[in-house]
Chains A and B, each alone.
Chain A
Amino acid sequence: MAKYFGVIIDEKRMAAIKGTPLEDKVQSIFGGALRRLVIEVSDELGQKVIDQFTKARFDARGYIEETPAAFKRAVFKRIAEMKDLSEAVIKKVLEEDLDKVKEEAAKEDKELPVPDIDISDVLELQKNPVQKPA
């Protein structure tokens, strides 16, 4: 059974593939709330990716998930460079970018920048919880 690797396409990434054949391959998910590109890979190659990262795994949809953000960045960079969505992209990353990805992933495992968003509304809601300690 084939496996899949999805890369989320934000505005910046969309701009990087604008005007290329990749633009037409962008899929809309969750009713257009997110966009992604998908690479189909063999079971064997999928497993090879999983084996590189301790948290990585296949999810119930057959997607390779929980790979480091550094790996996803590297895959997108190669997609944009090679203008390709075949498994050759993943092979290239594993062959040429893996050391750097692993180095960045080790940092990523320790710290991720906290999003700069206002959470005061939920702190207010939590001031008077319905459930009280015993």
Chain B
Amino acid sequence: MPEVRIKTLPPPHGGKLVERVVRDPQMARKLMEKCSAVYDIKPTLFKGNPVRNVYREIMSVCYGFFSPVEGSMTKADLESVLERRRLTSGWVFPYPILFDISEEDYKKLGVGAGDWLLIRLKGEPFAILEIEEVYEIVPGDVAVRTFGTPEKNPEVVKVPFDQKHTGYNIYCSLNPIVLAGKYTIINEPKFRPPFDRFWYPPKRAREEFEKRGWTTVIAHQTRNVPHTGHEALMKNAAYIGDVKPCDGIVVNAIVGAKRIGDFPDEAIVEGHEMVHLAGYIKPERHLVTFTLWDMRYGNPIESLIHAVIRQNMGISFHMFGRDHAALGEYYDIFATQILWSKGIPSFGFEEPPYMVDGGFYIRPQNIEEFWFCPKCKEFAYSANCSHKGIYSRYSGSFIRGLINEGVMPPPEIYRPEVYKVVVKWWQKFGYPFNNEKYLKEREERLEVDLPHMELPAHLKK
């Protein structure tokens, strides 16, 4: 009889966890000596507003969230990802990861293949890029090919992407020159509160799971303060496990520049934490974490980066709901579930991503929908409850609309303690959602501070 118990955590995607962080200051100084130029990171702007900061990608690469990716992609890897959602090594990877600079900056830096570039963040040395290749891109072309079109991807793309889509705008706003090569962090950033207590990069996450005795773990993707429907989803999806429900439920928030109108990341991570602090899920079974990534809202494509991240963290299952990581009506609302149940051939998946070569160990838990049903007297699963006209469907947009109008969401929608976390950050920022002011200040503040580190003399000029 086959063994049905899951006794170990899944291996990292690509076989080996990437960790490119130098913690020895002497070694950091030696590496800086080899650099020939310094570059200060600039946020990617769309119509003057920050939509991305490449530092978040450097962090996610160097701490292993994006294993096996080790840096900014070469032209061959970029083409391979855009054509078939695979790296040239054959491992599934969905998005271009690029270090892009303007032509003007490229000329000023005077670097080329074989040179090392010192990257500064908030005025301090941060990371090194070992330049392997320099090439040009057409940002609009990268954007279209990243997300797909109704003509090329008719299975799931319903309408062409446009400037109402934040992820599309990120790629359209990239600079035209790409410096490709491996990143290494040489000056470890320190997370600001409240992010510091939720920082579980893959190595630490795996250690924590082992400490807690977890071998079956399910991931909950979030970009939202949790409503009771999310809570029901987490609790019920976690029944999958093996001979018993999953040992652990891991919330992994995507933290980064986001859409105006979303909740601030501070409220998102603390809102999820409140689910266990207020006792709705036992803290022994619930861990709140985050990954730095400027969300692309790519629905099925985004689900693949989620699989990469969470498998690298040691997570065995991933819940995928309707409209997963989506924005607007560009994709079929069940596009992610289509991908994870039968595949999307036009995106390079004749079969689901856990069945293809170079695919994942992490398994999907495709969930339809939870709604509130006063007749069932529960947060009912849509495949169970047939009380049409009685149940109420959740909608994050609807709830944000309530808050915007000054209506306190009732306990049927939000746990009161969770809503109070929203109010806490509303008091702090003067606004409950991301607005232009918050996003601009946030981009200056970022999630981290960097210790002071002296530049080598030759780079001070």
Name the interface residues of B249-272: CB closer than 8 Å to any CB of A.
260-261, 270
Q: Which of B132-140, B239-247, B273-281 contacts A (4 or more CB under 8 A)?
A: B273-281
A31–B287 Cα gap in the complex (Å)?
A: 31
Contact A63 B417 (CB under 8 A): no
* Distance between Cα atoms of A134 and B451 in the complex (Å): 16
B459 proximal to A (CB < 8 A): no
Bound-state Cα–Cα, A97 to B396, Å:
27
Residue B199 at the chain A interface, CB threshold 8 Å: yes
Are A30 and B402 also in contact (CB < 8 A) when A60-B322, A109-B435 are? no
Within 8 A of A (CB), among B298-318: none
> SS class of chain A's interface: helix, strand, loop or mixed?
loop
Our count of residue pairs bridging A and B at CB distance below 8 angstroms stands at 132
The answer to whether B407 and A112 have CB atoms under 8 Å apart is no
Contacts of A15 in B (CB 8 A): none
Question: Is chain B's interface secondary structure helix, strand, loop, or mixed overall?
Answer: mixed
**A61-B393 in contact given A117-B420, A119-B424 (Cβ < 8 Å):** yes
Contact A122 B421 (CB under 8 A): yes
Quote the shortest CB–CB distance from B450 to chain A (angstroms): 16
In the bound complex, how far is the Cα of B407 from the Cα of A119, in angstroms?
16
| CB proximity to B under 8 Å, residues A14-70 | 29-34, 54-55, 57-61, 63, 65-69
Taking CB atoms, residues of chain A closer than 8 Å to B404 are 66, 68-69, 108, 112
**Residue in contact with A66 in the complex, picked from B273, B277, B397, B431, CB distance below 8 Å:** B397
The reply to whether A66 and B261 contact each other, CB–CB distance below 8 Å, is: yes
Chain A interface residue count, Cβ-Cβ cutoff 8 angstroms:
44
Q: What A residues does B413 contact at CB under 8 A?
A: 30, 33
Q: How far is the CB of A101 from chain B (nearest CB, A)?
A: 14
Q: CB-CB < 8 A to B191: which residues of A?
A: 133
B301 to chain A, nearest CB (A): 18
Taking a contact as CB atoms under 8 Å apart, the answer to whether A114 and B426 are in contact is yes
Which residues of chain B have C-beta atoms less than 8 A from A31's C-beta?
A: 372, 374, 392, 412
Complex CA distance for A125 and B199, rounded to whole angstroms: 20
Residues 389-426 of B, flagged 1 when their CB comes within 8 A of A and 0 if not, give 00011011110111011111011110001001101101
Given A65-B395, A117-B423, A112:B400 Cβ within 8 A: no
Question: B323 to chain A: closest CB distance in Å?
Answer: 5
Please indicate the chain B residues that have their CB under 8 angstroms from the CB of A68 in the complex. Answer: 404
CB atoms of B408 and A8 under 8 A apart: no
B interface residues with partner A (beta carbon < 8 Å): 164, 191, 193, 196-200, 204, 260-261, 270, 273-274, 276-278, 283, 287-288, 322-323, 327-329, 333, 372, 374, 392-393, 395-398, 400-402, 404-408, 410-413, 417, 420-421, 423-424, 426-427, 430-432, 435-437
Going nearest first, the 3 A-B pairs with the smallest beta carbon separation are A31-B374, A65-B397, A33-B410
Show 22 A/B contacts (Cβ-Cβ < 8 Å), sorted by A.
A6-B398, A29-B392, A57-B164, A59-B395, A60-B322, A60-B323, A63-B395, A66-B401, A66-B404, A69-B405, A72-B401, A108-B404, A111-B430, A112-B426, A115-B406, A115-B423, A131-B288, A132-B197, A133-B191, A133-B196, A133-B197, A134-B204
